[in-house]
Amino acid sequence: MAAKIEKLDEVTIRFAGDSGDGMQLTGSQFTNTTALLGNDLSTLPDYPAEIRAPAGTLFGVSGFQIHFGSKEISTPGDTCDVLVAMNPAALKVNLRSLRDGGIIIANRDGFNEKNLKLAEYEINPLDDGSLDKFQVHAVDITKLTTLAIQELNLSTKIVERSKNFFSLGMMYWMFSRPLDSSIKWIQEKFKKTPEIVEANTRVLKAGYNYGETTEIFHARYEVKPASLAPGRYRSITGNEATAWGLIAASSKAGLDLFLGSYPITPASEILHELSRYKNFRVKTFQAEDEIAGIASAIGASYGGSIGVTTTSGPGLALKTEAMGLAVMLELPLVIVDVQRGGPSTGLPTKTEQADLLQAVHGRNSEAPIPVIAACTPAGCFEAAYEATRIALKYMTPVILLTDGYLANGAEPWLIPSPDSLKEIPVKFHTDAKDFQPYSRDEKTLARPWAIPGTPGLEHRIGGLEKEHITGNVSYSAENHDFMVKLRQHKVDGIAEDLPHATVDGDERGDLLVVGWGGTYGAIKTAVENKRKEGKSVSQLHIKYVNPFQKNIGEILKNYKKILVPELNLGQLALLLQAKYLVPVIKLNKVEGLPFRADEIEKKIDELLK
């Protein structure tokens, strides 16, 4: 009998298995196909913190969650409707994220005695009744994969690696997704090994046909396209969007883009992505360490290019002296910090937003740097573009904060028209007459950008204090005091160039939820849900962290209570209290996971009783 079709507004699926089971690939393929069908979506890749943790163990589980629907989607989902578990460890780690009544697709072949022991199960959960509140479908995924390609005489290793496509095929059938996009991807990815193309294609179709022919599934589901603004879209991750924003800014400015970077999780993909675009005047340099990475970027800026360096929290700490040098030299530089769990190595594959104070204040002496924070994966494009624009206009280093959740997460991105992007005019100083390297633009306080080798524009650089106007080395107490205040005044003045902050919701009321960075989606969903219930609650999301936009203080005073959810112990809350002297209620967690909307809703209800 044909399974009945049920229509759904939204669905959350979580693929989970060992780190070698290809769950990230499975999730990415499902994401790309879903984006092509026009659904809005948000994803949460969840990597194990250890590289190649022992197979079958709890700390070796890799997951990928996708929330998609026919309406606007702002988070990867609080709980999942479907859990695909390739082994007992994947089931145990992720079962708490599955809603009551949800569907479990379990690879029965993976639930052997060895794996059950590694996952600390005394009895097989597929047989002991502990999963009775869920819809459990135990499928012999490994065995069926082997049968689908047995005549190809491939190695056991290749067969084992193909089983993720069987689970992908089942999900494509269950949620009425076509196979075409993934088959095309397989053909392009493995075109040099035709036997792999044939094997993966067969397994994908076998998984789909299993759903079609078996009678264990009583329903399939249809999720119609979302009503998105007209235009051309593509699925994009935060790291990809960051790279593309930097390329767009360099193209708009008419300058070469130079990235000097040392690989570090979760920022390395920006280096990988930029290395593909040499035809857009992009140069990438994989340095031997973090210090060399930023030093090379400073050199590139001195030579007339847009210097960029990328890192995560530990690397940002190593770059601090060189950041002070860039402040002293007053050269444009973009420093991208993709935050992760810490301190030290911490949780390298997990998300956090605890580098805020390090970004704003984490340098010796007074070394002010503007700080911008992206808030969605697609929004990383705009944030990277804006960071570059400010760096070039004000001749200053700029820090761009993203985080692991944004960097690895994906969502549909409306590709902007180049004409819609802000202009980034750049003018190099060429007139040797009366040239002074630290003279100032009256409006921006930016010093002239003089390219080395230009006749008559010779000038000193280095980390020693500069004399006002001449740039000569100066040990004068009065000059040092003046220059410190001048550099701070330049950064403070950027606020005049920023649009006013806007509130989602009522402009005054009982409660304002203030966030920054990757908390945006969870806060937005929570606030919208509570407003539908008639609650007096609004949202303010801060993208410019240093300096703040000029009207932030006025906004804060219009609400009885202010709630600040953060994936740290209260860093933005501290900055807001210090600057605006307003009482702030903190909501903090540092679990390596993003906020769920229901966590914020619970706090809102508590405060509005």
Q: Report pLDDT digits (tens) over 529-571.
A: 999 999 999 999 999 999 999 999 999 999 999 999 999 999 9
Q: Where are the domains of the chain?
A: 4-222, 234-420, 509-607
Contact 262, 318 (CB under 8 A): no
The side-by-side arrangement of strands in the sheet containing 135-139 is 40-46, 61-69, 10-18, 80-85, 98-107, 135-139
Which residues, 6+ apart, have CB-to-CB distance to 440 below 8 Å? Answer: 446, 447
Query: Inter-axis angle of helices 141-149 and 156-174, to 10 degrees?
Result: 110
pLDDT at position 218, please? 82
Same fold, 4-222 and 509-607: no
pLDDT in tens, 227-274: 988 999 999 999 999 999 999 999 999 999 999 999 999 999 999 999
- 200/207 Cα distance (integer angstroms): 11
Q: Helix, strand, or coil here: 10?
A: strand
Q: Vertex 187, ends 183 and 188: CA angle to 5°?
A: 120
Q: What is the mean pLDDT of residues 187-197?
A: 94
Q: List the beta bridge partners of residue 377.
A: none
Q: What single-letter amino acid sits at 396?
A: T
For residue 591, the model assigns a pLDDT of: 95
Q: Which fold has domain 234-420?
A: Rossmann fold (3.40.50)
Span 175-191, pLDDT tens digits:
999 999 999 999 999 99
Mean pLDDT, the chain, rounded, equals 96
Task: Spell out the CATH class of 509-607.
Answer: alpha beta
Each residue of 18-66: pLDDT tens digit? Answer: 988 999 999 999 999 999 999 999 999 999 877 778 888 999 999 999 9
pLDDT tens-place string over residues 345-378? 999 999 999 999 999 999 999 999 999 999 999 9
Q: Is pLDDT at 428 greater than 90 in this prediction?
A: yes
- Identify the weakest region by mean pLDDT among 15-19, 36-40, 159-163, 215-219: 215-219
Mean pLDDT of 383-405: 98
pLDDT computed for residue 2 by the predictor? 67
Mean pLDDT, residues 120-142: 96
pLDDT of 1 over the 70 cut: no
Kindly report the pTM of this predicted structure: 0.95
CATH of domain 4-222: 3.40.920.10
